[in-house]
A and B are shown apart, each in its own frame.
Chain A
Amino acid sequence: MKHVLILLCLVLGTAAHAATDAQALLAESDRARGGHLPGLSWTIQISSVDGDGQTVQTMAVIAQDADSRADYTAPAKLKGQFVVMLGRNMWFARWGLQKPVPISPRQRLIGQAANGDIAATNYLDDYNASLAGEDTVDGEQCVILQLVAKTKSVTYDRIRYWVSSTRKVGVKAEFFTVSGRLFKSARFEYGNTIGHEGRTYPFISRMQIVDAINAQNRTTMDYSRVAVCRPDPSRFELVQ
């Protein structure tokens, strides 16, 4: 009986340690995508290719914790359009719509990009992480994290997330529906850097999303002009 108890403690202890490792790794990888910083501003160019051809849009984003605002800056027909996200509350305004209207996280912005993709990534707050094995992506050793949504109101229900063992950044992801169906995958590049509390960190420069059903449908998000800064709270106002 004593041996069984010791074994049980070891198993539980190992499981708890693995979960802690997974959470810590997720926290580190979040920072390279804007999470757990005092605030950020960046510019995103979204290029989407589908059956209708190619679409290119640019937006200026400010983010603080789980709150963000994205103002479209190009093309000219989208100027004045914006998305505000306060927690999981989302509003969308565009020229001709008369007023900001509430939207759900499922509402698409362009191509395969969801609203959650343009904001700072806080997977640690939204998902429970567990270790799901190891793998190599483009010759780089990675840990696979299994992320399960803590609530039903997040953008994705389940994610398989490949995090570089050495760089501690997410390099690949697969996104699943509630029914377990893969509906898109993504690759990440980290050509930007940010400075925070006296240190320099790698920061996301490109996210490329591919539709799982039709691989010709691709959306590329290029991040530039990244700066760590606490935005003016009044920029998050809805009434225009």
Chain B
Amino acid sequence: MRTWPLLAALVLAASAEAEGVGDDLSIRSELQVERAQTQSWADSPFNRVSQLHDDQWSAEWLPELDGHFEQIEGAVKPRLLDETEAGGADPDLWLNECWVRIRPCDGLSLQGGREVLLWGPAMFWNPSNPFYPENNRANPYVELAGRDFIRARWQPSPAVSLSVISEIGRGHDIGGAARRDAIRLDWAGESASAAVLASADRTGAVGWSGWTQWTANSALVIYGEAAVSMRPPVTLPETSAGQTGWQLENQNGDRTLKSIAGSAYTFSNGWTLNLEAWRDGDGLSKGEARRVEQATDFLSAQPAGPACAQLGALLDSAPVPYRRDYSGFQLMSASDAKTGWLLRYTFNLDDGSGEAVALIKRDLGDRVQVWVSLTEREGSRAAEFGRWVRSSSLLGLTWFIR
């Protein structure tokens, strides 16, 4: 617990120092408290491995400092997390983002450090982004883990830019390839814009992706994203005559297509409705999902030991529990509302499960904002949204220091 006062002292010291710096420095401090509830431990075969408590609490402190001075910009975002599952251990302290950007001459920017690198017009999923395709699929207030990048961007005019991006480390994230490089070309026309991107992972496998959007009229924006890339290696169960009755086999993936299409319509009162449908070619097919479900049921009914180890390896496989066909809608209040809200529903068309998210934020003056996020999931215990946490609530208090 000694890290809490240490970090608080650092933020307060930076705030005091910042008084003489000017308006180019922003300091925020956010406190999040989350309660997550699973279905009954005994009722879920997946909890046999994950062993989530039925009722979990966590508190996270998210201070942020960012600013710019002439041609140099930067941000520092340390994080401090305390969870009930930690069993009395010290809270986790890490640096989720810390980067510097310089603009050595007009049209050129260079950036390096740890960041969460996001883009794409779609709200639910961004397949055009090979680094963070899963950016907003869950609660938008739940932060993604930063990774280490270096990138250069040449933008000779506002309408055209060329970027070279290299992921050099996984940062605070875990798993996945340690390195991926990409080159990206952006274009913006009169009413439409687009980007194309080629990327390669450390094995040399090349993927292509891109996005486009069109402002159809003053209220309607239509957009889409797509990617063609190699499916990551998959661990799938096969029946066997072994001790547990199943064995796990690693299968190299084929080239798959991932795509999403959507639209955003702004009503005259300022509310905006997004409708999206997408297909994730990396997700489990109907046959693969059935085998995973059968193996999970069979393995979870056996005593701990080899069966439990197999179950853990199976559930740790990259595409589990994702399926292929989804749709979603999001309704959001006007961006200038003092009490803002967002409603979102994600529907897994393959297994019938779904996730609803409601978010309400309220400004308390110019420096304090309080918000609540509620998530409710439904579906069978084998379905994507039915197998882990059933409901969660997140309460946040943000203090905008300067």
**Interface on A for B, CB 8 Å cutoff?**
48, 52, 55, 64, 66-67, 73-77, 79-80, 86-90, 92, 94-111, 151-155, 157, 232-234, 236-239
Known: A77-B363, A151-B191. A99 touches B401 (CB 8 A): no
| Complex interface: chain A residues within 8 A of B116 (CB) | 98
> Is B400 in contact with A108, judged by CB distance below 8 angstroms?
no
Beyond A48-B336, A102-B264, 16 extra complex contacts between A and B, CB < 8 Å: A55-B338, A64-B158, A75-B366, A76-B26, A76-B400, A77-B398, A89-B188, A98-B118, A98-B135, A98-B144, A104-B218, A107-B266, A107-B272, A151-B191, A153-B216, A233-B106
A80 and B401 contact, CB distance less than 8 A: no
Query: Across the interface, which residues of B come within 8 angstroms of A87, CB to CB?
Result: 159, 188-191
Q: Do residues A88 and B191 form an inter-chain contact, with CB atoms below 8 A?
A: yes
Q: Does A86 lie within 8 Å of B159, measured CB to CB?
A: yes
A104/B153 in contact, CB under 8 A = no
Chain A residue numbers with a CB within 8 Å of B390 are: none
| Given contacts A107-B272, A233-B158, A97 and B140 within 8 Å (CB-CB) | yes
Residue from B123, B157, B221, B264 within 8 A of A233 (CB atoms): B157
Interface residues of B (CB under 8 A from A): 23, 26, 28, 66, 103, 106-109, 116-121, 123, 135-136, 140-141, 144, 153, 155-159, 161, 163, 186, 188-193, 213, 215-221, 223, 264-266, 268, 270, 272, 334-336, 338, 361, 363, 366-369, 371, 398, 400-402
Minimum CB–CB distance from B389 to chain A (whole Å) comes to 20
User: Are B366 and A104 in contact (CB-based, < 8 A)?
Assistant: no
Is B108 touching A234 in the complex (CB atoms < 8 A)? yes
- Which residues of chain A are near B120, meaning CB under 8 Å? 99
Nearest CB in chain A: distance from B228 CB, A: 22
A75 closest partner in B (C-beta): B366
Assembly CA distance A140 to B266 (angstroms): 38
In whole Å, how far is B361's beta carbon from the nearest beta carbon of chain A?
Answer: 8
A67 touches B140 (CB 8 A): no
Complex Cα spacing A154 to B217, Å: 7
